[in-house]
């Protein structure tokens, strides 16, 4: 596998790799640890990790737009080194577009099979932060490189529909569902109404607005955790304005579900004008489901449509008045929170769980 983050903050890749190892596959993941937070080599759940740290030009250059070509080359060379040294891998599994070029080079050099695991539609993901010509280049690059793949895996139905328009390669939907570790519904442990968010903190994800809304309400608390990127450090400082905001920092993957279950509700409030957010699904949604907790989602998004269809949460407009009204509604109506939470857990048991999704991943590896 090739991954452009440090692995430890990517529950999807961890779960996929762990599943493959448990079913007889040997997995090595080449990862890009930009901040040099972890050891160069490590083993987690019998998954071998080899990290590339920022050195030389990778350290000097300030933006991934310029660093990516260097990263692709380094990942490719590291893959060749591993193959020649001690691991004759037969599949290269690339996570997202910012690793796919490395995978194509390895396939062409070694004759391996190539799986493209698209967590995001990269062009839409970056369109708010880069010039239009870069977005156009990303879509063009993806369209060109997917022709070299043997199989595409992606995370949502809208993403599948997009890939069908640019390739005739086989496509498999593997959602970010979670393990069913809680057999029955139980009420939250927190006494005070607690809203939880674990993930990237960005302007497009209603930060810092959600902190101000929660900070000014009575009988509520907000718990935040996430990756050390985007607005992480700003929100860590900003949350100190209020006594009812707990900022936990970065937490281990194994703590996510217990923390989710201790809270009353989760949220994925995102800017619905973003084409990326319109089409994707979120880890937080599936975490809330298996824990039996309602989700506050956003109208005009696929995640919101799913929430409404399953009756497992409440959709809000992307503004402070709508969000505040919904938080108060859930705070003051425990029976509603319980009803939505039970619906969420039922949906997880019936369909949206990793036991079902992992079978699709294993089928891809069996058939490829």
pLDDT of residue 129: 85
Res. 168: pLDDT tops 90: yes
Q: How confident is the model at residue 192 (pLDDT cuts 50, 70, 90)?
A: very high
Res. 58: pLDDT tops 90: no
The CA dihedral of 151, 157, 161, 167, to the nearest 10 degrees, is: -10
Q: Do the domains 193-350 and 2-176+355-367 match in fold?
A: yes
Region 118-127 average pLDDT:
93
pTM of the model: 0.91
pLDDT of residue 64: 78
Q: How confident is the model at residue 7 (pLDDT cuts 50, 70, 90)?
A: confident
pLDDT of residue 158: 96
Res. 205: pLDDT tops 90: yes
% of the chain residues with pLDDT over 70: 100
Region 190-214 average pLDDT:
96
H/E segment holding residue 80: helix 64-85
Domain 193-350 belongs to what topology? Rossmann fold (3.40.50)
Q: How confident is the model at residue 172 (pLDDT cuts 50, 70, 90)?
A: very high
Tens digit of pLDDT for each residue in 79-119? 999 999 989 999 999 999 999 999 999 999 999 999 999 99
CATH number for the 2-176+355-367 domain, one of 4.10.520.10, 3.40.50.12240, 3.90.470.20, 3.40.50.2000? Answer: 3.40.50.2000
Taking the C-alpha atoms of residue 341 and residue 290, their distance in angstroms, rounded to an integer, is 9
Q: How confident is the model at residue 229 (pLDDT cuts 50, 70, 90)?
A: confident
Region 318-322 average pLDDT:
98
pLDDT of residue 221: 97
Res. 167: pLDDT tops 80: yes
Q: What are phi and psi of 81, to 5 degrees?
A: -60, -45
Q: How confident is the model at residue 227 (pLDDT cuts 50, 70, 90)?
A: confident
Summary mean pLDDT of the chain: 95
Distance of CA 314 to the CA centre of its chain: 21
Region 188-214 average pLDDT:
96
**In 3D, which of 274, 275, 257 has the Cα closest to residue 266?**
257
pLDDT of residue 228: 85
pLDDT of residue 63: 80
Q: Strand 245-247 vs strand 91-95: parallel, antiparallel, or unpaired? A: unpaired
pLDDT of residue 8: 80
Res. 148: pLDDT tops 90: yes
Sheet with 41-44, edge to edge strand ranges: 41-44, 47-53, 28-33, 2-3, 91-95, 113-118, 151-154, 171-173
| Segments making up each domain of the chain, as ranges | 2-176+355-367, 193-350
- Retrieve residue 358's tokens: 């992992």
Contact between 302 and 280 under an 8 Å Cβ cutoff? The reply is yes
Region 48-64 average pLDDT:
84
Considering only residues 253 and 137, tell me which one the structure prediction assigns the higher pLDDT: 137
**In 3D, which of 276, 261, 94, 302 has the Cα closest to residue 202?**
276
From the CB of residue 203, how many other CB atoms can be counted at a distance below 10 Å?
Answer: 12
pLDDT of residue 34: 87
């Amino acid at each position: 596998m090739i991954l452009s983050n440090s692995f430890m903050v990517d529950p999807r890749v961890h779960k996929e790799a762990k599943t493959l190892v448990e079913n007889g596959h040997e997995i090595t993941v080449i990862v890009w640890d930009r901040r040099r937070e972890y050891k160069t080599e490590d083993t987690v759940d019998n998954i071998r990790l080899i990290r590339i740290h920022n050195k030389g030009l990778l350290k000097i250059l300030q933006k991934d737009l310029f660093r990516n070509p260097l990263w692709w080359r380094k990942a490719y060379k590291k893959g060749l080194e591993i193959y020649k040294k001690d691991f004759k891998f037969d599949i290269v599994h690339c996570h997202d577009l910012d690793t796919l070029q490395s995978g194509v080079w390895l396939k062409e050099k070694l004759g391996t099979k190539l799986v493209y695991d698209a967590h995001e539609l990269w062009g839409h993901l970056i369109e708010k932060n880069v010039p239009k010509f870069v977005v156009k280049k990303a879509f063009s690059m993806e369209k060109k490189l997917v022709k070299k793949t043997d199989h595409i895996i992606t995370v949502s139905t809208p993403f599948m529909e997009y890939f069908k328009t640019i390739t005739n390669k086989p496509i498999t939907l593997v959602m970010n569902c979670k393990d069913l570790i809680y057999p029955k519904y139980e009420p939250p442990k927190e006494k005070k109404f607690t809203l939880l968010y674990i993930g990237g903190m960005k302007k497009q994800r209603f930060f810092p607005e959600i902190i101000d809304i929660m900070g000014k309400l009575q009988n509520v608390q907000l718990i935040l955790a996430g990756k050390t990127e985007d607005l992480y450090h700003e929100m860590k400082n900003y949350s100190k304005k209020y006594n009812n905001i707990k900022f936990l920092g970065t937490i281990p993957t194994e703590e996510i579900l217990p923390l989710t279950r201790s809270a009353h509700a989760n949220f994925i409030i995102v800017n619905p004008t973003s084409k990326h957010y319109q089409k994707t699904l979120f880890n937080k949604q599936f975490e809330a489901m298996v824990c039996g907790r309602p989700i506050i989602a956003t109208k005009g998004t696929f995640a919101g449509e799913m929430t409404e269809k399953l009756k497992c949460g409440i959709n809000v407009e992307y503004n402070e008045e709508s969000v505040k009204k919904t938080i108060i509604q859930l705070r003051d109506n425990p029976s509603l929170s319980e009803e939505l939470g039970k619906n969420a857990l039922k949906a997880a048991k019936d369909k949206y769980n990793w036991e079902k999704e992992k079978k699709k991943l294993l089928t891809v590896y069996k058939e490829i």
